[in-house]
Structure 1
Amino acid sequence: MSGGAVASLPEGLLDGGVWFRVEEPGTASAVRRAAERLAETLGMPGQRIADLSIVATEAAGNLVKHAAQGTILVRVVRVADQAGVELIAVDSGPGMIDVQHSIGDGHSTAGTLGIGLGAILRQASRWDLHSVPGKGTVLSMQVWPDTVPERGWVAGLTRPLTGETVSGDAYAFREIDGRRQVLLSDGLGHGGLAAAASHEAVRGFHGAPAVPPAQVVEALHRTLGHTRGAALAVAELDPESGVVRYAGLGNISGTVLLPEGGRRGLVSMPGIAGHQRRQIREYDYPFTPGAILVMHTDGLVDRWNLTDYPGLITRTPEVIAATLLRDAGTRRDDAGVLVARFS
């Protein structure tokens, strides 16, 4: 994750970051160093970098000592006037039966993130956690240089195919002329050329005028003509009207999760943006208070059920996304997931 790459991120795009598989003490040190370098690149104050160092050290150390299949994502998060560092720790350990009890200092339950968790949470500017016994724990931690911004309404995660260093999946979001829109793209294949196609889709998305999703997808189809192409979808959340507008080409899965427990699949049309399409159609779906929009590439299987995760629908978009990536993501393909909530 180079300083130049961090500095060049468009507003509204969360950097894909770097995933660490945390199994050995040396990896925990690497997580801390990566977080510190990122904070220094962002020009964060020394005290906040020191706080971040504690957060990274403790979170990674806990995974080494107590978790199963632990991973940590280190990345930059941005709002209009500042940037911070986010760490998302994910494990498939036994989980926590009583999260509030586990947060207390000195609590020790082998196999969870509960050990010393209170110390981590005191140093973080913001955090969120979800844990299910038998499934594991997801903990998101953010350290901001100054004022802590309002919680975001959207978050996404991508992870490359095992053996690759870049992901062909990418996401972006924007608020433009009162329109709140999101993009998820899956570049054809994997590796550098797939990533280039999705990065071009992100650039085109940010440069597109404030028009409905179907027109944005049409513009992206033209933009991607010189790339290998991508499956992609654009959604627009309109809380005032109580709808989400959705248009897609190719194999992007979209689902609206309702607060009472129901779910509704969203329709994408066949095709490859940049190369072949028969038609682009836009559909409206009800989107009421408490609803969640989930979009993911075919790097996640569709066999996930939110009822298996009590309370998850109330958590932050990044924790929901990380939970789905952990349990529904495959290692045989790039994986990308985006979660947005009604607000």
Structure 2
Amino acid sequence: MGQVRTGPLLVDCEDVAWFRDQADGARGAAAALGRRTGLGERRTAELGLAVAELVTNLAKHSVDGSLLLRAVRTADTAGVEVVVVDSGPGMVDVPAARLDGVSTVGTLGIGLGAIGRLADVFDVHSRPGHGTVQLARFWPHPVPRDLSGREPAVGGLTRPISGERVCGDAWATRIDPHSPEGDTGETGAPARTPSAPGAAHATPSATSWAALTGLASPAPAPGLSRSPVRPRESSRTVPVRAAVAGPGQGVMVMLCDGLGHGPMAALAGQAAVQAFRTSDSRLPEQAMRDIHRALRGTRGAAVAVARIEPDNGRLLFCGIGNITAALITSTTRNNLLSHPGIVGHQTHVPRTYEHPLPAHGALVMHSDGLTERWTPADLSGLLTHRATVLATGLMRQAGTRRDDASVVVAKELW
């Protein structure tokens, strides 16, 4: 039997499709994705049943509800994740709602309980008057030892602007190649399979996104550009001259917002993800230079790169363009500095800044598809949930719907 890894678990995510008022489409897409990811007939049928329950609940209980269907994978295993979000009315008592026989509309009330039994992971956050976020994850059975009882340390999601099928926002994460042992699966979305300008070789076909999702590279099309941005300041920002990676584990996280939206913005996002994944850079400013070279010839992007060093209690950060990044706790928010510029075109010399990691906190980064006018109070109760649930709750709270949107969260690493 193979050795069980003990480092942080990172999974690669591909946001396949958002569904609103399309129950039949969601069920059919879930069944197709389950077969493509190799869940097997029984597991795929269980996934379909769970999606049917979730979309039924959306129709009965939700306000402005949506369902995200996506593929997830490690280096060796592929699965399916379902994220459901709505804006109300929420549940007063989530544990009670997950009991069989509990219903507020006169049905049998077996939905949430059944989903919890079918899914390998089922996480629910609900706040009365604000809405509900649900996450269900399905791996092949038996669940591989490397995945059993382990939760990804970084989670996020992307959402295209209304009317588009592809998103210009993308995110990725990887282990520092020189760090001690840990899972080295990289995370990203929504990079489509074919290589973008400046990209390296494609992912091996055994778990390639083309095989898993059947999605093709977006065709070129005209898009919009973005006006200049202002730097974001933090009273606790510490510039680091000649930054050096510290000892111990290092987790790198990147968020990219391709300028404008649509297929051309998606190509920029894909190029950034590929450059980040294949780079052996240990520092955010070095990774930024690699991404800058890869984005030449594309529309360009706003990009932020962070290096989390749990053993050293610090975070190193480099940002260019309109990316909001913050270290948060249940009561505090420490914004990270991002300089004006367009990665791939004209930028300042990349510079790394150092920040202390707050106890019981999280790193949050998001594109300007979300307003930055949110506070820790807006995330009430979410910090105790999985990273993807926190990211989804923030997108619900702060999303503007006037642009592509993305959020990535790292938590429980320190």
**Structure (1/2) with the larger strand percentage:** 1
Equivalent position to 1:333, from 403, 406, 410: 403
Equivalent position to 1:258, from 317, 329, 340: 329
Give the equivalent residue in structure 1 for 2:223: none
SS of corresponding position for 1:234: strand
Distance between the aligned counterparts of 1:52 and 1:177, measured in 2? Answer: 38
Give the equivalent residue in structure 1 for 2:173: 173
1:98-132 superposed Cα distances (whole Å, 9 cap, x missing partner): 1111111121135xxx7621111111111111000
> What amino acid sits opposite 1:226 in the alignment?
G
Give the equivalent residue in structure 1 for 2:316: 245
Q: Which moved more, 1:134-143 or 1:78-87?
A: 78-87
Distance between the aligned counterparts of 2:379 and 2:296, measured in 1? Answer: 41
Gap regions ≥5 residues in structure 2 = 1-9, 180-249
> What amino acid sits opposite 1:18 in the alignment?
A
Equivalent position to 2:79, from 57, 79, 84: 84
1:2-44 superposed Cα distances (whole Å, 9 cap, x missing partner): xxxxxxxxx95311221001x3xxx212111111101101111
Contact 1:12 1:174 in 2 (8 A): no
1:227-286 superposed Cα distances (whole Å, 9 cap, x missing partner): 110000111111000111110110101000125x21100011111000001221111111
Contact 1:12 1:172 in 2 (8 A): no
1:195-215 superposed Cα distances (whole Å, 9 cap, x missing partner): 101100001001111320111
Within-5 A mapping of 1:248-287: 248-259=319-330, 261-287=331-357
Q: TM-score, normalised by structure 1?
A: 0.92
Distance between the aligned counterparts of 1:306 and 1:288, measured in 2? Answer: 14
> What amino acid sits opposite 1:154 in the alignment?
V
Give the equivalent residue in structure 2 for 1:311: 381
Runs of 4+ in structure 1 over 3 Å off? none
Give the equivalent residue in structure 2 for 1:4: none
SS of corresponding position for 1:151: coil
Q: TM-score, normalised by structure 2?
A: 0.76
Give the equivalent residue in structure 2 for 1:222: 293
**Structure (1/2) with the larger helix percentage:** 1
2:199 counterpart of 1:200: no
> What amino acid sits opposite 1:214 in the alignment?
E
Give the equivalent residue in structure 1 for 2:161: 161
> What amino acid sits opposite 1:105 in the alignment?
D
> What amino acid sits opposite 2:56 in the alignment?
G
- The Cα RMSD (Å) is 1.6
Distance between the aligned counterparts of 2:153 and 2:62, measured in 1? Answer: 29
Give the equivalent residue in structure 1 for 2:220: none
Distance between the aligned counterparts of 2:284 and 2:36, measured in 1? Answer: 35
Q: Which has the higher contact order (CA 8 A, sep 6+)?
A: 2
Give the equivalent residue in structure 2 for 1:75: 70
Give the equivalent residue in structure 1 for 2:151: 151
Distance between the aligned counterparts of 1:129 and 1:306, measured in 2? Answer: 19
SS of corresponding position for 1:16: strand
1:27-85 superposed Cα distances (whole Å, 9 cap, x missing partner): 21211111110110111121111111111110111101221111000001112321110
2:30 counterpart of 1:35: yes
Aligned-pair CA distance for 1:182: 0.9
Contact 1:104 1:116 in 2 (8 A): no
Contact 1:169 1:185 in 2 (8 A): yes
Q: 1:232 to 1:297 in 2, by over 3 A?
A: same
Aligned-pair CA distance for 1:166: 0.8
Gap regions ≥5 residues in structure 1 = 1-10
1:292-332 superposed Cα distances (whole Å, 9 cap, x missing partner): 00000000001222323432111101100111111211111
SS of corresponding position for 2:123: strand
Within-5 A mapping of 1:90-169: 90-110=85-105, 116-146=111-141, 147=143, 149=147, 150-169=150-169
Contact 1:225 1:275 in 2 (8 A): yes
SS of corresponding position for 1:290: coil
> What amino acid sits opposite 2:18 in the alignment?
W
Distance between the aligned counterparts of 2:19 and 2:344, measured in 1? Answer: 33
Distance between the aligned counterparts of 1:94 and 1:306, measured in 2? Answer: 21
